[in-house]
């Protein structure tokens, strides 16, 4: 039997998903780690932690499955996007990685808009300059740590540092590279003009590859460390959301990938580079060759429900919260929740946005609040769905993440968006997608589309029901919340010191 590995280097853990030749998930190894916040708004991580976790996760997956490492035919890479990994001439890491959730670079984002021009930046890269992206982080290091900056030889993303440790090769996938805002979206490669305007040395930027393309083979040292065979091909893979889209089968226009994890993501494939003129949606290359995607991101999705449970109902289980929410009618008797607990990204790129319950009365209790949290998150996801609908066709939603375990929440999302919702068969969509890309690159499937058709399992559709009209009215009121409260949010931020 042939097997394929998908390696997902996420923010909190590395997962190694072992898949057989038919696309079935056999085992998942996992190794956790933390990240550091040395100052307010900062988020950093040691790249060495990813490498040790990769070794542990691979060996764990092999043991769980009872499979010899020699049976693994190819490896696919995925992981957290946008992080900055700076490497010197001898392959040494020059400083801790600056992660996607680091917020220190607002000044650099403003400088990028001045240097390039906001409209030109969006037209070339598909995106506005936001603190989460890679390019502003590089400019921050140039300004604040010049001694480190002058020793840079390679600029990598987190998973691609792991790729380097596996293969000895410097390479990026096109989906991940387009999230640096140094990429020409239409050309599917580095933008020489953006790189030049930002003063970044083009020699630091590795070659980029389509998702199933082989970027190198396992070195003897890496093979010994992981228990795999020397020379095992490692394919490019994709950033976590692009790989997750492969893992749930969102590889052609019409199928929407929705992630209901700590954050919320709405992902739509396109067969051309489609750019939202105001930059309110991210536009990146897909991990599927010659495909692109649009993506809306809300920063606190299932994380909102976790906050609510931990803070307001700490002794309550999630199934009990489901039952409580189900006991309340749609609209939560006039209670709305603004899910901006971590600031917001789409459609309001505002780190100072705040969460709020609006409409509280003496008649409301924990049940009403639980339902309003679920509904507020669904409204936030609909914000992205509405923007995407102006640019491409919409069909069904393929949903993954911890929140997808709630049948109540699934029905709310179907009612709010007006789209049928299906749950996929694996909770590790990104790692599964990376494994499918590896299998495609190794020739087990003729295309990524065929791999998804063969391997992705989806449940029966949850269709919009009789509450859809109620939510259409409530969504109109919800849309007024942020514009009405923005000034108050920003004023309150001054007190949050």
Question: In the Cβ-directed half-sphere of 26, how many Cα atoms lie within 13 Å?
Answer: 26
User: Residue 85 and residue 421: Cα distance in Å, rounded?
Assistant: 37
Give me the residues paired with residue 208 across strands. 172
Give DSSP secondary structure letters for 441-472.
HTTSSSSHHHHHHHH--B---B---TTHHHHH
Sign of CA dihedral 61, 244, 195, 345: negative
Helix (H) or strand (E) holding 97: strand 97-98
Q: Which residue numbers are catalytic?
A: 240
Nearest Cα residue to 399 out of 244, 295, 271: 244
Cβ atoms 135, 127 nearer than 8 A: no
SS3 category, 254 = strand
| Residue 309 main-chain phi, psi, to 5 deg | -65, -50
| Residue 231 main-chain phi, psi, to 5 deg | 85, -5
Which long-range contacts (C-beta less than 8 Å, at least 24 apart) are formed by 440-444? 440/211, 440/212, 440/235, 441/74, 441/76, 441/212, 441/213, 441/214, 441/233, 441/235, 441/236, 442/4, 442/73, 442/74, 442/233, 442/235, 444/2, 444/4, 444/21, 444/73
Cβ atoms 263, 301 nearer than 8 A: yes
Angle among Cα 475, 278, 182 to the nearest 5 degrees reads 130
Cβ atoms 273, 293 nearer than 8 A: no
| Residue 110 main-chain phi, psi, to 5 deg | -65, -40
């Amino acid at each position: 039997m042939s097997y394929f590995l998908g390696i997902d280097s996420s923010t909190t853990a590395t997962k190694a998903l072992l898949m057989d030749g038919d696309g079935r998930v056999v085992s998942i190894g996992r190794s956790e780690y933390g990240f550091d916040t040395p100052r307010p708004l900062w988020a950093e991580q040691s790249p060495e932690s990813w490498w040790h976790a990769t070794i542990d996760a691979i060996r764990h997956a092999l043991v769980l499955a009872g499979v010899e490492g020699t049976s693994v035919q190819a490896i696919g890479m995925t992981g957290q996007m946008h992080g900055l990994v700076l490497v010197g001439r001898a392959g040494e890491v020059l400083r801790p990685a600056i992660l996607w959730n680091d917020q220190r670079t607002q000044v650099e984002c403003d400088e990028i808009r001045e240097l390039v021009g906001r409209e030109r930046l969006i037209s070339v890269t598909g995106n506005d300059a936001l603190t989460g992206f890679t390019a502003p982080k590089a400019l921050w290091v140039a300004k604040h740590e010049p001694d480190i900056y002058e020793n840079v030889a390679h600029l990598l993303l987190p998973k691609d540092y792991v790729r380097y440790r596996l293969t000895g090769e410097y390479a990026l996938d096109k989906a991940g590279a387009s999230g640096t805002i140094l990429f020409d979206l239409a050309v599917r490669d580095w933008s020489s003009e953006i790189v030049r305007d930002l003063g970044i040395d083009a020699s630091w930027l590795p070659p980029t590859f389509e998702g199933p393309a082989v970027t190198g083979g396992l070195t003897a040292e890496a093979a010994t460390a992981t228990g795999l065979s020397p020379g095992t091909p490692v394919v490019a893979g994709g950033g976590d959301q692009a790989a997750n889209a492969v893992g749930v089968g969102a590889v052609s226009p019409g199928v929407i990938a929705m992630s209901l994890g700590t954050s919320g993501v709405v992902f739509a494939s396109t067969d051309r580079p489609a750019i939202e003129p105001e930059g309110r949606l991210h536009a990146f290359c897909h991990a599927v060759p010659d495909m692109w995607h649009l993506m809306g991101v809300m920063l606190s999705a299932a994380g909102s429900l976790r906050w609510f449970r931990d803070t307001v109902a700490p002794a309550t289980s999630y199934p009990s919260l489901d039952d409580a929410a189900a006991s309340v009618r749609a609209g939560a008797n006039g209670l709305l929740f603004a899910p901006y607990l971590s600031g917001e990204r789409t459609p309001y790129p505002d780190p100072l946005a705040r969460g709020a319950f609006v409409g509280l009365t003496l008649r409301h209790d924990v049940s009403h609040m639980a339902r309003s949290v679920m509904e507020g998150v669904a409204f936030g996801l609909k914000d992205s769905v509405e923007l995407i609908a102006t640019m491409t066709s919409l069909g069904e939603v393929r949903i993954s993440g911890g929140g997808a375990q709630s049948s109540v929440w699934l029905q709310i999302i179907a009612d709010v968006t007006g789209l049928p919702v299906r749950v996929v068969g694996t909770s590790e969509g990104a790692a599964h997608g990376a494994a499918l890309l590896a299998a495609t690159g190794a020739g087990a499937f003729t295309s990524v589309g065929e791999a998804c058709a063969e391997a992705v399992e989806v449940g029966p559709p949850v269709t919009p029901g009789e509450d859809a009209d109620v939510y259409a009215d409530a969504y109109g009121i919800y849309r007024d919340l942020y514009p009405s409260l923005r000034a108050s949010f920003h004023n309150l931020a001054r007190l949050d010191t």
